[in-house]
């Protein structure tokens, strides 16, 4: 073959070559084909493209061209070679160890004291089902929803947040986790530091790291985030973002003291930084007063607020919101538009139905009463059955106890031993962005079926501690 040979002639020659090779065999490199067939690079590229289009070969960038499997037989060989993807994907990994259960699936019959959702018996399932049925019957139920969310739903969510927040300040999201992911990617550039409470919510750490950010811990005490150390952290790192949970913090249950709320905002504003306020527990108070969110008193656009209906509602009520003012909201709207356009309309309509009904307020009050009772039962049981365990405080909201373990006890080992005894708890080290200050467990009281399961779970945990 000479220089005037067409790519069609070369393609015929390559088909003949492929006929003598096995599936997965590598064809000669482009340089070898140029030399062997005496053609130019463009001719080789066109011929290989033709064979790839017809399914005769498959090209793997950075690796080469290989004989393809005949159409219709792709699923017959479990040993397909996908190693080439390691090179193509480079080193940009997404760490999910903070999202999944490090001990694996929970065996049947295990008492769930590690859950982050309320038990089915506490969910407003009848009201949710009725609201979804009514929403689905609307003539426009399956129409495209506005990218920012239904105006009526945004208005209701703004009213729940309070202060001077309006519907224009609200962006509806697919739950709180989606809101965190959007905010982290919109506010800070990859490689930037983000200040976080220590300890803090593991899935927020995972979302921040997936956005390429570097979490920097700032310690808490009984009154919440320490302003003196926060100021030091901003000065040392140059961070432009703080992630915090001022109300019923996960995992400690602490509430940021009133005087510190203004200090935190003043420090962030002086540092030219945003405060990402995760208000996941707004509807999880145990019957007492719940402080106003930081964003309600923020007029300068310092606070980006996250709220969600999932925790007080049900796991699949994936409705949340971001609240913000200024260019940061436009940035977040752009990110969510690129991500998924909008949250499904029937679910937004159902959320609007439930929030607009008196049944929601009744549900929140009843849930608070039950959570307070469960919290007290579990706290008493842990102190009785887990020798040496110390409660860092009895929370007045939220779903968890934060328990300090006796000296010398390994939290991960105890969580594993507890699983063998039929109770699931969360090892405290998952909640720290750096080295933990001591061994803790996060023990939940919302996912168990009833009080009897809570007391039995504490008994099993005590037995697991004795096993160590």
Which of these three, 359, 385, 413, is where a domain ends?
Answer: 359
Residues 408 and 304 in one domain: no
247 close to 279: Cβ distance less than 8 angstroms:
yes
Structure confidence at residue 225 (pLDDT) = 97
Residue 61 belongs to a domain: yes
CATH number at residue 435: 3.90.1150.10
Q: How many structural domains does the chain have?
A: 3
Rounded to the nearest integer, the mean pLDDT of the chain is 91
Q: Does 103 map to a domain?
A: no
- On the 0-12 / 13-18 / 19+ scale of CB atoms within 10 A, 288 is exposed
Question: 83 with 230, same domain?
Answer: no
**Per-residue confidence (pLDDT) for residue 77, from 0 to 100:** 52
Q: Are residues 404 and 422 in the same domain?
A: yes
Lookup: tokens for 289? 């007063």
Tell me the CA distances in angstroms from 465 to 140, 305, 395, 423, 459, one per residue in order: 57, 40, 24, 12, 10
CATH number (domain holding residue 75): 1.10.10.10
> Per residue of the chain (468 residues), what is the pLDDT tens digit?
444 457 888 999 999 999 989 888 999 999 899 988 888 888 999 999 989 888 899 888 777 899 988 776 655 555 567 777 766 776 666 666 666 677 777 788 899 999 899 999 999 999 999 999 999 888 888 888 999 999 999 999 999 999 999 999 999 999 999 999 999 999 999 999 999 999 999 999 999 999 999 999 999 999 999 999 999 999 999 999 999 999 999 999 999 999 999 999 999 999 999 999 999 999 999 998 899 999 998 989 999 999 999 999 999 999 999 999 999 999 999 998 988 888 999 999 999 999 999 999 999 999 999 999 999 999 999 999 999 999 988 999 999 999 999 999 999 999 999 999 999 999 999 999 999 989 999 999 999 999 999 999 999 999 999 998
pLDDT at 23: 87
For residues 400 and 379, give the distance between their C-alpha atoms in angstroms, rounded to a whole number. Answer: 10
Q: Are residues 190 and 131 in the same domain?
A: yes
As a whole number of angstroms, the distance between CA 170 and CA 341 comes to 15
Q: Is there a single domain that holds both residue 381 and residue 322? A: no
Q: Is residue 97 part of a domain?
A: no
Q: How many helices (H) and strands (E) does the chain have?
A: 15, 16
**Cα separation, 253 vs 401, whole angstroms:** 7
> Is the same domain home to 236 and 340?
yes
- Provide the pLDDT for residue 76: 52
Q: Answer yes or no: is 106 within a domain.
A: no
Domain's final residue, options 319, 336, 359: 359
Asked whether 261 and 269 are in contact (CB, 8 A), the reply is: no
pLDDT value of position 97: 67
Contact 443, 113 (CB under 8 A): yes
- Residue tagged 């006929």 (tokens): 19
- 290 shares a domain with 178: yes
For position 316, which CATH number holds? 3.40.640.10
Per the document, the length of the chain is: 468
Indicate whether 57 and 149 sit together in one domain: no
CA distance 429 to 410: 10
Alpha-carbon separation of residue 322 from 203, 239, 298, 315, 424 (angstroms): 17, 21, 14, 19, 32
Instruction: State whether 197 and 326 are in the same domain.
Output: yes
Q: Is residue 434 part of a domain?
A: yes
Of 359, 389, 414, which residue constitutes the final position of a domain? 359
In a domain, 455, yes or no: yes
- What angle (nearest 5°) sits at the alpha carbon of residue 82, between those of residues 79 and 84? 145
In a domain, 170, yes or no: yes
340 & 397 share domain: no
**Residue 226 lies inside a defined structural domain of this protein:** yes
Asked if residue 278 and residue 402 are part of one domain, the reply reads: no
Taking every pair of C-alpha atoms in the chain, what is the biggest distance, in angstroms? 90
**DSSP structure string for 313-325:** S-TT---EEEE--
- Based on the fold, state whether residues 231 and 315 are members of the same structural domain: yes
Domain that holds residue 259: 124-359
Q: What is the DSSP string of 422-437?
A: TEE-EEGGGG-SSS-S
């Amino acid at each position: 073959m000479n220089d005037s040979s067409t790519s069609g002639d070369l393609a015929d020659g390559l088909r003949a070559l492929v006929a003598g090779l096995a599936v997965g065999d590598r064809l000669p490199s482009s340089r070898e084909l140029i030399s062997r067939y005496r053609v130019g690079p463009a001719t080789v590229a066109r011929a290989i493209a033709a064979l790839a289009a017809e399914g005769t070969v498959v090209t793997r960038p950075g690796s080469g061209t290989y004989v393809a499997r005949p159409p219709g037989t792709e699923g017959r060989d479990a040993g397909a070679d996908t190693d080439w993807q390691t090179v193509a994907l480079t080193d940009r990994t997404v760490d999910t160890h903070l999202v999944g259960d490090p001990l694996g699936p929970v065996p049947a019959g295990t008492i769930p004291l590690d859950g982050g959702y309320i038990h089915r018996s506490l969910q407003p399932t009848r009201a949710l089902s009725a609201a979804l049925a009514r929403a689905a019957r609307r003539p426009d139920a399956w129409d495209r929803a506005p990218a920012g969310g239904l105006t009526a739903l945004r208005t209701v969510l703004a009213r729940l947040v309070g202060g001077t927040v309006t519907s224009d300040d609200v962006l509806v999201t697919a739950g709180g986790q989606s809101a965190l992911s959007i905010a982290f990617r919109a506010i800070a550039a990859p490689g930037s530091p983000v200040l976080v409470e220590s300890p803090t919510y593991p899935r927020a750490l995972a979302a921040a790291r997936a956005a390429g950010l570097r979490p920097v811990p700032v310690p808490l005490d009984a009154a919440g985030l320490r302003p003196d150390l926060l100021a030091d952290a901003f000065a040392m790192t140059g961070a432009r973002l703080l992630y915090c949970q001022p109300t019923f913090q996960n995992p400690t249950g602490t509430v940021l003291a009133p005087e510190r709320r203004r200090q935190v905002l003043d420090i962030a504003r002086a540092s030219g930084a945003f405060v990402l306020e995760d208000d996941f527990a707004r509807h999880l108070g145990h019957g007492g007063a719940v402080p106003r969110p930081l964003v309600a008193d923020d007029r300068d656009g310092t606070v980006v607020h996250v709220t969600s209906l999932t925790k007080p509602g049900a796991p699949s009520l994936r409705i949340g919101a971001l609240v913000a003012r200024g260019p940061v909201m436009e940035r977040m709207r752009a990110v969510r538009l690129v991500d998924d356009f909008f949250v499904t309309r029937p679910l937004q309509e159902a959320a609007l139905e439930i929030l607009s009904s008196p049944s929601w307020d009744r549900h929140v009050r009843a849930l608070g009463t039950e959570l307070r009772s469960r919290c007290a039962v579990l706290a008493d049981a842990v102190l009785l059955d887990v020798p040496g365990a110390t409660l860092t405080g009895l929370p007045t909201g939220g779903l968890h106890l934060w328990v300090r373990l006796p000296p010398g006890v390994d939290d991960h080992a105890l969580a594993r031993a507890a699983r063998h005894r039929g109770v699931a708890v969360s090892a405290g080290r998952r909640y720290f962005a750096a080295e933990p200050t001591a061994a803790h467990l996060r023990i939940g009281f919302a996912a168990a079926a009833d009080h009897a399961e809570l007391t039995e779970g504490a008994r099993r945990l005590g037995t697991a501690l004795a096993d160590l």
